[in-house]
Structure 1
Amino acid sequence: MTVLAAERPTLVRPIPRLRIGLPIAAFVALVALARLWPTWHALTTAPGPVEAEAARFLLWELRLPRVLAGLAAGAAFGMAGALFQAVTRNPLAAPDLLGVTAGAQVGVLIGLTVPALAGFAGPPLLFVCGLGAASLALLAAGGWRAPPLRLLLAGGACALLLSAVLTVMLALFEQDIAGLALWSGGALYQPGADGLVEAACWLLPPLVALPFLVRGLDALALGDDAATGIGVAVLPVRFAGVITATALTAFAVALAGPIGFVGLIAPNLVRAAGIRRLTALIVLSALVGGGLLLAADGVVAGLGFSAGLSTAVATALVGTPLLLILVVRGQLLSPPDRTEAAASTRVASLAVVAPALGLALAALSAFGLAWGETWLAPARWVTAFAGGDNEAALILSIRGPRIAVAAIAGMMLAASGVVLQSVVRNALAGPELLGVTQGAALATLVGLLTWPLIGRPETFALALVGGLATLGLILLINRRRRFAPLPVALTGLAFSGLFAALTYAVIVETSAQPARALIWLVGGTYGRAWPDAVALLPWLLVSLPALALLSRPLDLLTLGEDAAAGLGLNVALLRALGLGLAAMLASAAVAIVGPLAFVGLLTPHLARLVGFHAHGDRLPVAMLLGALLTIGADILGRVALAPKEIPAGALTALIGAPYFLWLMSRGRRGTQ
């Protein structure tokens, strides 16, 4: 049972809504007046008609439409979040977490690249794509009653999948990268007064539908059986609620871009203040959402940043602490999913599977060396090594280090995923979904863009600082909850959203080559040389003894915390060491290949499917599978659209995300 399902309106003392609503409304009004006052003052004190006309144009065509756009977009995000949470009875449901905003990003790019859809490039196309993403996340999570952790991870997987789709499309339409990067950073719409009125027409249908949905959605908090007993058609009400919430999100994203956290934070802040009735919750969530977005935009303007870009960054900077406060207070937490079962008897034989995977890895590596725009027969390899074929030697010197780097990075990410899933005690965890790779990637990207001639030691240092700092904050925030799965995952999500906003800010503000930066953020091996492989290999070799030493304690941890502690295991110390090792492996890999998606999440599951559950067996199998996956993605990305190249990280996401979502759709049994 989730948190919202357990809350009964009759068991909660009513909170006077005016006591909560009036201060919120006053705050929003003050923020709006603060944004408009400088322009109004300039208009009333203009020394001449020319200055007055300029101030009048600035007020009525630019500043006032911008303020109204911020209020409308924030209100729409807040209402959408409240509706999604009511439909699913889940306090973590929100447009960001269900992948709706990621789907809208795909809709924006489709509108930019397909001329026939140019007339539908606004809210209609964003609505269709966002609805598809929400449907996929809900289906994969297990439907309306999905626990918070499963819904969170399903939405994160959908977002990664759609990001990979975006990357493949951008590889084909490179001219649209800069515009999409700017829009993805969050930009309040600047259509002028007439354009704002036209855009607002798309807000009317969901607003008209809201009064007819509130009674049914309010009844869902009592449970499906009770709602059916009082005459509520549960499935139609839920479907209509998702449609309405997605329409609100499409309108908000069209006005402001994919600005995160507003749809999650606003309803939970209102609920934390004691408001439970859905009508008041929706209204106050709209006010809080509008106030948050407008305040963030005002802070950006007051500090002199480029407002179109940094509104999302400011919102994330405000939203992340609020989200973490709710996590620490336990406002968003509910009983976690059933965790991974204890290690069972091994079905497969490591002595058979490991050599077979090793042979497959060698064969795939040899195939990758030969296959490409220029086919290299094995006979030419011998000639090249003997110094008689310069062309073949050059091609091998380019392809060889890419395969070596892909193999080493794949092994490191796979080992990181195995350790993380065991330490967090949830088989749906991974470095991609806990914010570790995003923190390492952001720190590395800042270094690459700030110091173009940065060396590998400095790159590793930045990646480790970013990944370990993220991990340290996660440990610090969740130490009192003994690193329980749901708060750890939610904390990682909060940092991921913050890092994503900061990343787009860095790209647009400092990069003269946004294509290079965005493609690096997806992850890949393009341009890697032998020194990169040599620099990465020691990190893997040093970690092998530590992984071997942790195997037995991690097996004991699968028995449960109490049982493991009863056997003499220091659970807190084991988790800290395991998380530190996992973060080190993932961060070092990110420093060279970028944040490859789903390698650390997918390969531990594949090892289980083969039949390995004990960590001493599962670790080597998962690492070999990680190398196979990354090498295969590198080869396919190199030759599929030659001479254009698809980053390997996009292909690992395209391969891993559908499998991950299918795995979740099988139910809890399939995730253990």
Structure 2
Amino acid sequence: MSEIARWTSTRQRPSRPFYPLVLAALVVIAAVVLLRLADPLSTLMRATGAKEAESASFLLWQLSLPRLLAALLAGGAFALAGTVFQAATRNPLASPDLLGVTAGAQAGMLVGLAVPALRPLAGPPLLFAFGLGAAALALVAAGGWRAAPLRLLLAGGACSLLFSSLVTMTLALFEQNIAGVALWSQGALYQPGAQGLKTATLWLIPPIAVLPFLLRPLEALALGDDAARSIGVAVPFTRLLAALAAAALTAAAVAIAGPIGFIGLLAPNLVRALGLYDLKTVAPLAALTGAALLLAADGAVAGTGLSTGLSTTVATALVGTPLLLALVARGRMPAPTSRGDVATGGRTAPFLVVALACALALIALCAFGLAWGEAWLSPARLVDAVSGRDPIAALILDIRAPRIAIAALTGAMLAASGVVLQSVIRNALAGPEIIGVTQGAALVTLTGSLLWPLLGRPGAFGLALSGGLATLGVILAINYRQRFEALRVALTGLALGGLFAALTYTLIVETSAQPARALIWLVGGTYGRSWADALALLPWFVATLPALALLARPLDLLALGDDAAAGLGLPIALIRGLALLLATILASTAVAIVGPIGFVSLLTPHLARLLGFHRHGARLPIAMLLGALLTVTADIVGRAALAPTEIPAGALTALIGAPYFLWLMIRRPATRDDHR
């Protein structure tokens, strides 16, 4: 029986007794709570004077105990939300994180803080509205409640990128809030204070009260919609109520603890990994598991002596990442393969016509970008700037030209990296940002720049390459036996990328004197880049072009399958290793200069295929031209649209790419390949 069929089978009997597992979970939670309260209790008991007793009492009742309650409530709520989403969609990947609900809630919190009229709602109400909207968008793009796991993961990732970009743009407009939002985004328990904790707890009462009445109809949905209707289940109403309940649970949890990831995905799947499939047993055990996970992560933070508690997300990722990777490696997560990309099909266009059109459009766009901005340079002034007769125009041109050159180079490099990765791993999700390569490169590069402020460009390139290659090595090692199946590779990259992102943000908050600058760099952009950066990047670009040309034909043969390619005499292991090395070099060197610009490497290969270019000899140059067009457009618009305020190019590439990508998913109905 397949993993999905086994998960959806309501006839499956638990392989382990339910009540001993509940008792064991309660004992673990009680032990951790008592251990955490031991020090405040002993301090209170040893207090002699009234002032000392008052201080000890405040530590116990106003700090320690509420923080423990926040961990239990938020962890349990995240886990229950994941359980409900998974049951409603019959999809074990439908967690608040992967549906974009937590990213939507984060955007709602920031909007509530930035817009004075919405500040009274800057809590569970606004988080609930934005989170529910994100879930609805992801489900519509994926194809509805019965979407395949691969499509759902792709749609949820696009929604997360979209809302993260909205957050970044809002921060660019309201810079005074950037530090506070950065701290909140790290996940710190008991953030809203005593009154806020009470309010969020009240928001938990309605969805928890509804759950007992939802479990039986949700269980019936596992039999199929027709079977559920035949026994009297109102399928649309049940799913709508489930979505409302799960979004409310997520909103309350995010209000209490911030956008802490992994728990909604991990806790229900850990319970099912024990052999429990009945929702009446999965839901309470998942809630206890989620509470225990967050409590343990927060306990690890408290044990480090960090008074700020800003590393709760990191601790959760450190706990959750190995568990999630273990589930993937052991085959406990469903792994349908997919040969299709989101943007397949389309009419084949003449290569030279399309290439020439893209090249001319890129040249025209670059010329427009040199002239357009907060200071308009007419054609006459551009001529005077080049000839040296207008020093002011020459200075402006010297600032804009290297940025446009770097944007074009990095866009082309990221697009080529995406094409190669998707071809070698045969995985539509194998962009460097989706599988964690860019996050790994960014983390190592940022760490090096903070440790060595005078780090030069050669050092930045070396650090970025080491981080990207190490991440790729871990992903390939974990998924080698499964032949790099699409969903498993994506889940591995998701786990590692989440861990690296949490570590990176904590590093910024704890060590950086300029968190705004570092956060903007993490989004990716060309602000402050010079001709020296462009000249440092150019040799890497030029050196990889012959390698890309030589690999085009072998990559075409790899698309036929390993057996067919080997029968034609292709050294598969050597070609695959060289191609992966080349893709990582392209992505990592781009990150070293502009930061982890997102979505270019994922979107442009699909756009090239949509135009009808499937052979790599044509697909690679078209995707590179499209990548350059996308990043140059984002850089120009971000620089000039709200001048003098600048929007990072990485935020705009996601804002441009994510809606178009979701539209492509909506246009293309699910195929048989999506469910394999």
Give TM class, smaller chain: over 0.9
Q: Which amino acid aligns with 2:608?
A: A
Post-superposition shift, 1:89?
A: 1.2
Which residue does 2:375 correspond to in 1? Answer: 374
State how far apart, in whole Å, the 2-side matches of 1:123 and 1:437 are: 33
SS in 2 for 1:37: helix
**Cα pair 2:604 2:623 within 8 Å, conserved:** yes
Which residue does 1:327 correspond to in 2? Answer: 328
Post-superposition shift, 1:395?
A: 1.0
Instruction: Specify whether residues 337 and 670 from structure 1 end up closer, same or farther in structure 2 by C-alpha distance, changes over 3 A only.
Output: closer
Percent identity of paired positions between Structure 1 and Structure 2:
67
Q: Which amino acid aligns with 1:502?
A: L
**Cα pair 1:127 1:250 within 8 Å, conserved:** yes
Which residue does 1:200 correspond to in 2? Answer: 201
1:185 aligns with 2:186: yes
**Cα pair 1:79 1:245 within 8 Å, conserved:** yes
Instruction: Specify whether residues 556 and 84 from structure 1 end up closer, same or farther in structure 2 by C-alpha distance, changes over 3 A only.
Output: same
Q: Which amino acid aligns with 1:78?
A: A
State how far apart, in whole Å, the 1-side matches of 2:585 and 2:547 are: 12
Q: Which amino acid aligns with 2:172?
A: A
Moved more, 3-12 or 617-626: 3-12
1:502 aligns with 2:503: yes
**Cα pair 2:75 2:293 within 8 Å, conserved:** yes
State how far apart, in whole Å, the 2-side matches of 1:58 and 1:479 are: 50
Post-superposition shift, 1:45?
A: 2.0
Which residue does 2:65 correspond to in 1? Answer: 64
Post-superposition shift, 1:193?
A: 4.8
Q: Which amino acid aligns with 2:234?
A: A
State how far apart, in whole Å, the 1-side matches of 2:347 and 2:88 are: 42
Which residue does 1:362 correspond to in 2? Answer: 363
Instruction: Specify whether residues 226 and 560 from structure 1 end up closer, same or farther in structure 2 by C-alpha distance, changes over 3 A only.
Output: farther
Instruction: Specify whether residues 370 and 440 from structure 1 end up closer, same or farther in structure 2 by C-alpha distance, changes over 3 A only.
Output: same
Which residue does 1:540 correspond to in 2? Answer: 541
Instruction: Specify whether residues 193 and 598 from structure 1 end up closer, same or farther in structure 2 by C-alpha distance, changes over 3 A only.
Output: closer
Which residue does 2:257 correspond to in 1? Answer: 256
Which residue does 1:104 correspond to in 2? Answer: 105
**Cα pair 1:347 1:611 within 8 Å, conserved:** yes
State how far apart, in whole Å, the 1-side matches of 2:562 and 2:313 are: 40
State how far apart, in whole Å, the 1-side matches of 2:501 and 2:345 are: 39
Post-superposition shift, 1:6?
A: 4.0
Post-superposition shift, 1:131?
A: 0.4
Q: Which amino acid aligns with 2:117?
A: A
Instruction: Specify whether residues 533 and 601 from structure 1 end up closer, same or farther in structure 2 by C-alpha distance, changes over 3 A only.
Output: same
Kindly report which structure 2 residues correspond to 1:226-375, keeping only aligned pairs within 5 A, or say none. 226-339=227-340, 347-375=348-376
**Cα pair 1:463 1:587 within 8 Å, conserved:** yes
Moved more, 73-82 or 230-239: 230-239
Instruction: Specify whether residues 618 and 308 from structure 1 end up closer, same or farther in structure 2 by C-alpha distance, changes over 3 A only.
Output: same
State how far apart, in whole Å, the 1-side matches of 2:286 and 2:22 are: 10
**Cα pair 1:342 1:555 within 8 Å, conserved:** no
**Cα pair 2:4 2:334 within 8 Å, conserved:** no
Post-superposition shift, 1:572?
A: 4.2
**Cα pair 1:77 1:262 within 8 Å, conserved:** yes
Which residue does 2:669 correspond to in 1? Answer: 667
Which residue does 2:457 correspond to in 1? Answer: 456
SS in 1 for 2:348: coil
Which residue does 1:590 correspond to in 2? Answer: 591
**Cα pair 2:345 2:610 within 8 Å, conserved:** no
State how far apart, in whole Å, the 2-side matches of 1:104 and 1:342 are: 29
State how far apart, in whole Å, the 1-side matches of 2:612 and 2:239 are: 39
Which residue does 1:35 correspond to in 2? Answer: 36
Moved more, 522-531 or 230-239: 230-239
Which aligned segments of 4 or more residues in structure 1 are displaced greater than 6 angstroms? 341-346
Post-superposition shift, 1:265?
A: 1.0
Post-superposition shift, 1:558?
A: 2.2
Moved more, 68-77 or 480-489: 480-489
**Cα pair 2:343 2:610 within 8 Å, conserved:** no
Kindly report which structure 2 residues correspond to 1:73-92, keeping only aligned pairs within 5 A, or say none. 73-92=74-93
State how far apart, in whole Å, the 2-side matches of 1:344 and 1:286 are: 44
Which residue does 1:142 correspond to in 2? Answer: 143
SS in 2 for 1:445: helix
**Cα pair 1:401 1:529 within 8 Å, conserved:** yes
Which residue does 1:21 correspond to in 2? Answer: 22
Post-superposition shift, 1:13?
A: 5.0
State how far apart, in whole Å, the 1-side matches of 2:157 and 2:394 are: 43
Moved more, 160-169 or 552-561: 552-561
Instruction: Specify whether residues 543 and 277 from structure 1 end up closer, same or farther in structure 2 by C-alpha distance, changes over 3 A only.
Output: same
State how far apart, in whole Å, the 2-side matches of 1:600 and 1:670 are: 25
Post-superposition shift, 1:341?
A: 11
Aligned length: 672
State how far apart, in whole Å, the 1-side matches of 2:554 and 2:641 are: 43
SS in 1 for 2:603: helix
Q: Which amino acid aligns with 2:376?
A: W
Post-superposition shift, 1:347?
A: 2.2
Instruction: Specify whether residues 466 and 671 from structure 1 end up closer, same or farther in structure 2 by C-alpha distance, changes over 3 A only.
Output: farther
Q: TM-score, with normalisation over the residues of structure 1? A: 0.96
**Cα pair 2:520 2:648 within 8 Å, conserved:** yes
Could you say what the CA RMSD is over the residues aligned between the two structures, in angstroms? Answer: 2.1
Q: Which amino acid aligns with 1:49?
A: A
Moved more, 474-483 or 187-196: 187-196
**Cα pair 1:160 1:657 within 8 Å, conserved:** yes
Post-superposition shift, 1:482?
A: 1.7
**Cα pair 2:343 2:606 within 8 Å, conserved:** no
Instruction: Specify whether residues 670 and 638 from structure 1 end up closer, same or farther in structure 2 by C-alpha distance, changes over 3 A only.
Output: farther
SS in 2 for 1:641: coil
State how far apart, in whole Å, the 2-side matches of 1:575 and 1:22 are: 50
Q: Which consecutive residues of structure 1, in runs of 5 or more, have no partner in the other structure?
A: none
**Cα pair 2:314 2:503 within 8 Å, conserved:** yes
Post-superposition shift, 1:483?
A: 1.4
Kindly report which structure 2 residues correspond to 1:567-646, keeping only aligned pairs within 5 A, or say none. 567-646=568-647
State how far apart, in whole Å, the 1-side matches of 2:383 and 2:363 are: 17
**Cα pair 1:301 1:307 within 8 Å, conserved:** no
Kindly report which structure 2 residues correspond to 1:428-577, keeping only aligned pairs within 5 A, or say none. 428-577=429-578
Q: Which consecutive residues of structure 2, in runs of 5 or more, have no partner in the other structure?
A: none
SS in 1 for 2:219: helix
Which residue does 2:393 correspond to in 1? Answer: 392
Instruction: Specify whether residues 190 and 370 from structure 1 end up closer, same or farther in structure 2 by C-alpha distance, changes over 3 A only.
Output: closer
State how far apart, in whole Å, the 1-side matches of 2:134 and 2:82 are: 15
Post-superposition shift, 1:410?
A: 0.7
